[in-house]
A and B are shown apart, each in its own frame.
Chain A
Amino acid sequence: MMPDARSAIRALVEAVARRERGDAAQPDVALRFVTDSLGGMPGYLRPPLHLATLAFDAWPIVSRGRPFHRLRHEERLRQIDAWERSVLGPCRMLMTLYVSLTLFGLWPDDQDEKSGQQENRRYG
């Protein structure tokens, strides 16, 4: 029952994916985009992000006896919502980062028919 950053990210992406797209969600595709993106972030941001993610995962241990990644879906959504509305800037920033990347990743490229190479269909 220890906090774990990778499990927390997976749980967060799954929760946001289910909230946003229900059965149409492809959380694995979104999770791949989130983890790929995080792999390129500036090196000096990685330690504070890791610590903040651990803190996010550990947050419900006192009240519920379990880390975030072991919570039920509704409990996860409540914690995400609470952190999105937090008075603490770093909490809001953490949620903005993960939720934004997940939202982008939830609409995979094969559903987005617009690309640079298709632009010329309707000229003139």
Chain B
Amino acid sequence: MADRLRVDVAVLGSGPGGSVTAALCAEAGFQTLLLEEGPDLPLDACRHFSGEEIVRKYRNRGLSLAFGKPSISYMEGCCVGGGSEVNRGLYHRTPAYVLDRWAREYQVDALTPDALAPHFDACEARARVAGLPGRAPPLSQRLGDGGAALGWDSMQAPRLFDYASGRKQSMSETFIPQFRRAGGDLMAGTRALRIARTNRRWRVSAVRDRRPLEIEADGLFVACGAVQTPALLRRSGIRHNVGNSLRFHPMLKAVALFSDAVNRPGDPDPVHQIKAFEPRFGIGCSISSPALLALALGGNPAMRAHIAQASDRMGLYYVQNGSGHARVRCLPGARDPFVSVAHERNELEALYDGLRHLLRALFAAGAEAVQPCLPGLPMLRSAAEMDALPASLPRKSASLSSVHVFASCPMGGNQRITATDSWGRVHGVDGLRIADASLMCGPTIANPQGSVMAIAHRNALHAIERRFA
């Protein structure tokens, strides 16, 4: 016999979209239940970017893969707060040209920069967004210097971070406490299996501690992330443009070896990004711990050999764009959805061209040697040696990774290509809304968490005004 719960509003998933939505619903006076599949762990339960964090806070313990040529390994959080707990909190408002494209192609109503500004303002008032005080760490500054030497614009990305206390402004530090103070109930370790509409209410069939749980709600928001949201909807028989258009920001990486220390223990996270080539590709800096350097250099033993003695002189950098168009499908009897990805040649070539730009920037920044992180490619000692690189991306050996997944259920008035209307209401289904990165219509190249939060804020207020109809 299943346990039963009855609430006004249920929100499935506690990542940035779900947490913002749940907090607003609870503050509006609705009895709100926030369900999360992963565990409820404090922000500092384990070291950031450690193996322990991967095992405890990442979905599939970091082993998620979109199959294709090349495949993309992608990371998702699976804990209270979702991706906001495990990312760096780099923050951007959605670029105007991106919103303009979504409005034109997907016919999204009222999604201009001016219309979204109050929602960004509201989210930024709750989760502090700040620039790095003082000078950036050397690993970061080198990228900015290299870009400047080549005449390329760069900037220091703001972060969802409270630099006074040294704490990231993840959901478990911001919107989830707000949600709880407003009387909301959070249920971690609970996996939604199916949803169904009966008697003008939504019924969520879930499992918690291996016990079945049935939840009835007047309003239902699905915010399980861009892979799990379409998987849940498809398992529940809702398939119109659901899971057909998943996108990533796939990355290629390079490691630079400098003559002096750039990567010192205790340095703040790097923040420089070269924006001059967006949307074709964007360039930035990564966390450069010995473990992450070793991981990136898995196919490059010559540079990897320096880690033991010289990791303080090494920096890990990336280039990313929007290559890859993926589908999410449920396999009979399998718990996890299957994700397949196809690439367009021009998008992959743009990414590879971005890698060449990154290599040039690192040499311009004074690197002694630079290693493109693709198996079999040589360690380079000068920009001139880039002539030895293959003319195009070696697809067979290329390993792409992404920390952003989105756009699997895009929103908008164009029903031919969208899964929901402009406000996240699933087409043809009463009272069901999506509230996560699935709603985005395509890549932003910039970090998407700010966009997800603002759009969730906008759509939640719209839903509350209409009492979830």
In the complex, what residues of A have CB within 8 A of residue B397's CB?
Answer: 92
Q: Return A42 CB to nearest CB of chain B, in Å.
A: 4
Count of inter-chain pairs, beta carbons less than 8 A: 138
The answer to whether B291 and A112 have CB atoms under 8 Å apart is yes
Given A96-B399, A123-B132, does the pair A43, B335 have CB atoms closer than 8 Å?
A: yes
Q: Which of B264, B289, B399 contacts A107 (CB 8 A)?
A: B289
- Total interface residues on B, using CB and 8 Å? 56
In the complex, what residues of B have CB within 8 A of residue A96's CB?
Answer: 298-299, 399
Find the B residue at minimum CB distance from A22.
Answer: B308
The answer to whether B47 and A104 have CB atoms under 8 Å apart is no
The answer to whether B61 and A41 have CB atoms under 8 Å apart is yes
In the complex, what residues of B have CB within 8 A of residue A100's CB?
Answer: 295, 298
Question: Cβ of B260 < 8 Å from any Cβ of A?
Answer: no
| CA of A77 to CA of B267, assembled, Å | 37
| CA of A51 to CA of B137, assembled, Å | 46
The answer to whether A106 and B294 have CB atoms under 8 Å apart is yes
| CA of A121 to CA of B336, assembled, Å | 41
In the complex, what residues of A have CB within 8 A of residue B295's CB?
Answer: 100, 103-104
For the complex with contacts A104-B292, A123-B132, 14 further pairs of A-B residues with Cβ separation under 8 Å are A20-B304, A43-B336, A45-B65, A96-B399, A100-B298, A103-B291, A104-B294, A113-B265, A114-B48, A114-B265, A115-B50, A119-B268, A120-B268, A121-B266
Q: Return B227 CB to nearest CB of chain A, in Å.
A: 11
- Total interface residues on A, using CB and 8 Å? 41
- Most interface-central of A92, A120, A121 (chain B CB within 10 A): A120
| CA of A78 to CA of B466, assembled, Å | 67
Q: Return B263 CB to nearest CB of chain A, in Å.
A: 9
The answer to whether B268 and A37 have CB atoms under 8 Å apart is no
Q: Return A24 CB to nearest CB of chain B, in Å.
A: 7
Q: Return B208 CB to nearest CB of chain A, in Å.
A: 19
The answer to whether B163 and A116 have CB atoms under 8 Å apart is no
In the complex, what residues of B have CB within 8 A of residue A36's CB?
Answer: 51, 55, 61
Given A44-B331, A118-B266, A122-B266, does the pair A38, B166 have CB atoms closer than 8 Å?
A: no
Interface string of B330-348 (1 = CB under 8 A from A): 0100111010000000000
In the complex, what residues of A have CB within 8 A of residue B65's CB?
Answer: 42, 45
Question: Cβ of B255 < 8 Å from any Cβ of A?
Answer: no
Q: Return A18 CB to nearest CB of chain B, in Å.
A: 14
Q: Return A121 CB to nearest CB of chain B, in Å.
A: 4
The answer to whether B291 and A117 have CB atoms under 8 Å apart is no
Q: Which residues 241-286 of B sit at the A interface, judged by CB distance below 8 A?
A: 264-269
The answer to whether B61 and A37 have CB atoms under 8 Å apart is yes
| CA of A20 to CA of B292, assembled, Å | 15
In the complex, what residues of A have CB within 8 A of residue B163's CB?
Answer: 120, 123
Interface string of B133-161 (1 = CB under 8 A from A): 11001000000000000000000000000
Q: Return A80 CB to nearest CB of chain B, in Å.
A: 12
Interface residues in chain A, defined as those with a beta carbon under 8 Å from any beta carbon in chain B: 20-21, 24, 33, 36-45, 84, 89, 92, 96, 99-100, 103-109, 111-124
Interface residues in chain B, defined as those with a beta carbon under 8 Å from any beta carbon in chain A: 43-44, 46-52, 54-55, 58-65, 132-134, 137, 163, 165-168, 264-269, 287, 289-292, 294-295, 297-299, 304, 307-308, 331, 334-336, 338, 375, 396-397, 399
Q: Return A73 CB to nearest CB of chain B, in Å.
A: 17
| CA of A118 to CA of B266, assembled, Å | 6
Find the A residue at minimum CB distance from B162.
Answer: A120
The answer to whether A40 and B51 have CB atoms under 8 Å apart is no
Given A40-B63, A41-B61, A123-B132, does the pair A107, B54 have CB atoms closer than 8 Å?
A: no
Q: Which of B59, B291, B399 contacts A104 (CB 8 A)?
A: B291
| CA of A114 to CA of B288, assembled, Å | 9
The answer to whether B336 and A42 have CB atoms under 8 Å apart is yes
The answer to whether B166 and A120 have CB atoms under 8 Å apart is yes
Q: Which of A24, A37, A103, A114 contacts B308 (CB 8 A)?
A: A24
The answer to whether B291 and A40 have CB atoms under 8 Å apart is no
Find the A residue at minimum CB distance from B290.
Answer: A107
| CA of A4 to CA of B163, assembled, Å | 51
In the complex, what residues of B have CB within 8 A of residue A122's CB?
Answer: 137, 264, 266-268
Given A117-B44, A120-B268, does the pair A40, B55 have CB atoms closer than 8 Å?
A: yes
Find the A residue at minimum CB distance from B294.
Answer: A103
In the complex, what residues of B have CB within 8 A of residue A120's CB?
Answer: 163, 165-166, 268
In the complex, what residues of B have CB within 8 A of residue A118's CB?
Answer: 166, 265-266
| CA of A112 to CA of B51, assembled, Å | 11
Find the B residue at minimum CB distance from A87.
Answer: B396
In the complex, what residues of B have CB within 8 A of residue A39's CB?
Answer: 61
The answer to whether A117 and B166 have CB atoms under 8 Å apart is yes
Find the A residue at minimum CB distance from B58.
Answer: A40
| CA of A44 to CA of B165, assembled, Å | 43
Q: Return A91 CB to nearest CB of chain B, in Å.
A: 12
Q: Return B459 CB to nearest CB of chain A, in Å.
A: 30
Given A117-B44, A119-B268, A122-B266, does the pair A107, B63 have CB atoms closer than 8 Å?
A: no
